[in-house]
Amino acid sequence: MIEYIYLQPVHKDFHIVLNFLIEFLRENYGEERLEDFFVKASRYIYQPLIQRVKNNGIVEIEKHLRAIFTKEDGEFHIGYKGQELIFEVIKCPAIWYMKANKIEISKCYCKISTEIVTQIIMKECGYCFSVEYDQHNGRCIQKFWKEDQNDFC
């Protein structure tokens, strides 16, 4: 099954709407409720991806990231170091699109859109995830690896 997300044309204004939603929820309900909302939404929205990762492994995350960032003209490097998938975003299409349109970016944008969303997807799949991001410059390094008994993801 090809999910809706892969069939649609790029509409980068989505990032602006997401940014406004994040800031609205943060200002009106607080960061804890904001995070709770995106945890629940991620479990629902990304269920097909979660199932593919459970069935086929981390290669499905690689395919997903490659497809989305290629479609949006992001600049990135993706590869493996042993069993660990490393995704380096050199130019985030969301951040740079909002900057080009002079949108004030929520201080929580990368935390929510990357850290919280991806963390819950990977947790649901039995994988660990870490991210170091530089929101101001639209860069990050994401790492994905299979959870084992010694990991505290």
CB 74 within 8 A of CB 92: yes
Cβ count near 13 (within 10 Å): 12
What CATH fold (topology level) applies to the domain 12-146?
Answer: Muramoyl-pentapeptide Carboxypeptidase; domain 2 (3.30.1380)
Closest CA to 46 of 16, 5, 94: 5
Question: What is the per-residue pLDDT for 5?
Answer: 56
Question: What is the per-residue pLDDT for 96?
Answer: 96
CB 67 within 8 A of CB 97: no
Tell the residue number behind the tokens 């969303």, with chain if given: 117
Q: Where are the domains of the chain?
A: 12-146
Task: Please give the biggest Cα pair distance in the chain.
Answer: 46
Distance CA 44, CA 58 (A): 19
Question: What is the per-residue pLDDT for 12?
Answer: 84
Q: Which residues pair with 142 in a beta bridge?
A: 87, 131
For the chain, what's the residue count?
153
Question: What is the per-residue pLDDT for 11?
Answer: 76
- The pTM for the full model equals 0.90
Where would I find the H helices in the chain? 4-7, 13-29, 31-45, 47-56, 59-71, 93-100, 109-110, 117-125
Can you give the pLDDT of all 153 residues of the chain as single tens digits? 455 555 566 678 899 999 999 999 999 999 999 999 999 999 999 999 999 999 999 999 999 999 999 989 999 999 999 999 999 999 999 999 999 999 999 999 999 999 999 999 999 999 999 999 999 999 999 999 997 755 666
Question: What is the per-residue pLDDT for 1?
Answer: 41
